[in-house]
Chain A
Amino acid sequence: MRPILMKGHERPLTFLKYNRDGDLLFSCAKDHTPTVWFADNGERLGTYRGHNGAVWCCDVSRDSSRLITGSADQTAMLWDVQTGTQLHTFTFDSPARSVDFSVGDKLAVITTDPFMGLTSAIHVKRISKDPSEHVCLFCLCADILVVEIVPEISESVLVLKGPQGRINRAVWGPLNKTIISAGEDAVIRIWDAETGKILKESDKEIGHKKGITSLQKSVDGSHFITGSLDKSAKLWDIRTLTLIKNYTTERPVNAVTMSPLLNHVVLGGGQDASAVTTTDHRAGKFEAKFYDKILTEEIGGVKGHFGPINALAFNPDGKSFASGGEDGYVRLHHFDQDYFNIKI
């Protein structure tokens, strides 16, 4: 396959996300502008200007009308996907690290970093129902909007505190009843989304040994995978938090994703960016490693990046995937026919 290289970001990529139809690809980077691309040919559709800091994470609503981004400028912003206009800004006291829309897109979970004495927190925000209403209000009468919308939208429904260190990822569990969080303390927690109590915590013995960098749910939401700096990725049941599989690799894992089509797991990573220039390029392991999900055996690797892979995303049709690296490139890979016939 000949990957498509997309050089729209000036700085390292942080996150990639496909919309549900798989025709748009959203990319976040440490430069301040999230970008949307056509996922088939890699053409740039537009950028979302407004953030004033690194953008860490994004999520797109099921109908691809709205985008939420979390940024180090201590805000999370809600955008109109089509026009790139800001619909709303959620302001926090510390950088927003991860965002995730709930099923139904009525709520969003946003995590904030420990900052200036504040501990890390998970916020649940209510998102107003009608996106068109938002656009209208903003375009015509911004003042009224502030009065009307702010009480409804800006207050956190729930704020969860407790975990030590940064929470790198928080996602909704099945039926929005739980929130799964993972972060630097290497513990995966399942919270009750209504009461805010911790329901389950991953066992220190079987769990990750170092900070968890990424977390991704399966398509059906029955299980999820976490990648960690302890050079492994683990597959967990989303309800019982039992460890299902363990994938070991040779480098810290920065990004994980699962194929929606085949039983494949992709791990991306590499050594710390600070050590890149001091080591041989072959030692870097800047490749996306494919593993068999069930046999946990390595299938192969896709090379190309000049730095660690920070973000991975599979197209919902399972026929292509995108990787974003520290080198500022997004590489969009459409699989050859061979890929679908791979046997171990």
Chain B
Amino acid sequence: MAVEAANQPKIRWGELEDDAEDLDFLLPPKQVIGPDRNGLKKIVEYKFNEEGNKVKITTTTRICKLANARLSKGAVERRSWPKFGDAVHEDVGARLTMVSTEEIILERPRAPGSKQDEGKSGGDSLNQIAKAGAVLMVCRTCGKKGDHWTSKCPFKDLAQPSETFVDRPPSRGEAPAAGAGSQKSAYVPPSMRGGAAERGSGGGTEMRRRNEENSVRVTNLSEDTREADLLELFRPFGHVSRVYVAIDQKTGMSRGFGFVNFVNREDAERAINKLNGYGYDNLILRVEWAAPRAT
């Protein structure tokens, strides 16, 4: 600094000691270099620090265009149009426009690449037809004959209720035969009913079970984990059909656990194997099947 000051002949030492802040005029002007081809912009500034020493500050920033906004001139102009009609008197609290609190995903009817299974079951049914030599196309969901296959059932989303209504009458008869219940009127849980195991392998039960079984519970999540984060974390393992993070209604904070549903069980299993004990946001994740599995 002393050297610098000496270069300025008209400044006396006494003044320098008094107020160092006013010395800005001594400094070389601010220089801005760039931005160059790579978007690098350099700003060179000089200033005095607290001790009165001259410091050269070089700030290098990279400027990059994030999105090539393809807005037309008209659209830009329209953006600044004044409100009209009822929108003029819009209160701030009117909240006509809200962002959904729910994460909506494009729900795939089946996982990509699961065509093979479908083909297989289709083949089986075809064999059945060949054996019987008649129309044996029975929908396991709605019970309609000869109209469509179970997978094409228009009521497939109703699988759960229709199961309880449609399947109960036969199972009531079957249960005593299977020896599970001694009395006809005794309640038999669905899992103990005759034919449950057999039915479990197909039809509406499978559809419902699939949703439950492929559900993975994730606990010990940090508070700021959102559904999108979970989706990002679990997506590499396979197609995810649902992500849910429990939110405390009162505080609006995450409750530290969530659920992820996979379309394929194998994917869910891989995710559990890989992510259980995985460090995420300084916490050790615990990943397990959502419902304690009976078998």
Contacts and interface: CB of A to CB of B under 8 A. Distances in A.
A6 B97 CA distance: 4
Interface residues on A, range: 35 or more
Interface string A322-344: 00000000010100101100111
Nearest to A284: B157
A299 B109 CA distance: 7
Given A64-B74, A280-B158, A303 B107 contact: yes
A1 B87 contact: no
A44 B78 contact: no
A250 B97 contact: no
Contacts of A1: 103-105
Contact of A44 (B79, B96, B155): B96
A2 B104 contact: yes
A17 to B, nearest CB: 15
Contact of A301 (B95, B96, B103, B109): B109
A2 B102 contact: yes
B66 interface: no
Contacts of A3: 99-100, 104
Contact of A21 (B74, B100, B102, B103): B74
A24 to B, nearest CB: 6
A2 B231 CA distance: 13
Given A84-B85, A344-B112, A290 B155 contact: no
Interface residues of B, number: 36
Given A4-B100, A21-B72, A45 B108 contact: no
B294 interface: no
A41 B85 CA distance: 19
B99 A5 contact: yes
Contacts of A22: 75
Contacts of B87: 35, 44-47
Interface string B82-111: 011111101000011111111111111100
Contact of B109 (A21, A63, A298): A298
A283 B155 contact: yes
Contact of B83 (A23, A44, A49): A44
B107 A2 contact: no
A6 B96 CA distance: 6
A2 B84 contact: no
Contacts of A84: 84-85
Given A2-B100, A43-B97, A339 B86 contact: no
Contacts of A23: 71-72, 75, 78-79
A33 B99 contact: no
B154 interface: yes
B104 A46 contact: no
Interface string A20-42: 01111000000001010110011
A242 interface: no
Nearest to A290: B106
A280 B165 CA distance: 14
Q: Interface SS of chain A: helix, strand, loop or mixed?
A: loop
A47 B85 CA distance: 5
Given A21-B74, A83-B84, A42 B109 contact: no
B39 interface: no
A313 B269 CA distance: 40
Interface in B199-227: none
Nearest to A2: B100
A2 B104 CA distance: 6
Contacts of A302: 104, 106-107
Contact of A7 (B81, B96, B101): B96
Contact of A2 (B86, B99, B161): B99
Contacts of A300: 106-109
B74 A63 contact: yes
Interface string B49-80: 00000000000000000000011101100110
A293 interface: no
Contact of A5 (B90, B97, B157): B97
A8 B90 CA distance: 11
A322 to B, nearest CB: 12
A87 to B, nearest CB: 14
A238 B103 CA distance: 38
B74 A299 contact: no
Interface in A249-296: 250, 280, 282-283, 285, 287, 290
8 contacts: A2-B100, A7-B97, A47-B85, A63-B74, A283-B155, A287-B107, A300-B107, A300-B108
> 6 nearest interchain CB pairs?
A47-B85, A46-B84, A23-B75, A300-B106, A42-B97, A250-B154
Given A38-B79, A64-B78, 20 more contacts: A2-B104, A3-B99, A5-B99, A7-B95, A23-B79, A35-B85, A43-B97, A44-B97, A45-B78, A45-B84, A47-B86, A49-B86, A83-B84, A287-B107, A298-B109, A301-B107, A304-B100, A304-B102, A317-B70, A344-B112
